[in-house]
Amino acid sequence: MNDTWKIATYNVNSIRARMPILLEWLERVQPDVVALQETKVQDDKFPVDELKAVGYYSVFKGQKSYNGVAILTKSEPTVISYGLNELEYSNEARLISVKVDNVNIINTYVPQGRDVSSDHFQHKLAWLQRLSEYISHNYQPNEPVIWLGDFNIAPDNRDVHAPEKLFGSVGFHPEEHNLLEIMRNWGLNDIFRQHVTDDGHFTFWDYRVPNGFKRKLGWRIDHIWATKTIAERSLRAWIDTEMRQAEKPSDHAPFIAEFERM
């Protein structure tokens, strides 16, 4: 067994559409754990066998056509839980938690929010507040915990291509930042920022923006945050932008972090 442990998050934007590049990427990068979001597939159609063939267990919760989360692991996962355990959110496939390799993993696809003036934005804020309560109720800051996924939030000015223009919009709003700060104060650390402090590093480039990737018009909204006991073992973190340039890519790129094994 390797002395290092590699974990990734990837908004795949339809796992069925992305299977060829996903399978090639898994074989090439060999992550130990992968959190997927926007799988957009019902559970009976999830590609369990294809992923097992390349060495991965699959835990998943899906919906038809939208949302959907999954965790792929080389080691068999335990302590599996789905959702926020509340009826209000029970129809949304946005959260899976597992324990694998002695680490608690919480994979989230946070609601996008659409527009600041909309009910969708208020739903996003309420969902994030409930998530913070879920984490504080089910875990302790001194435990090995990783919260990762598509947070749909860029934390600071370095994480958007035009911070002055975009400040106050969905994904870069003070109320969202305040909720991230609750997570930080509880004991979660932004692993990317432990290793990279400059701006211009993005994980998402909107399809609707002409040549957005080439023009570097992106957002860093896909994250891996960890408690101190894990964060201290962090060796490096990087965004695999090659995947955004692949044939028929997602509008996101995978974000990967490597740790000393627990």
List residues with catalytic annotation: 109, 150
Q: Which neighbouring-strand residues pair with 59? A: 71
Are 44 and 60 in contact by the 8 Å Cβ rule? The answer is: no
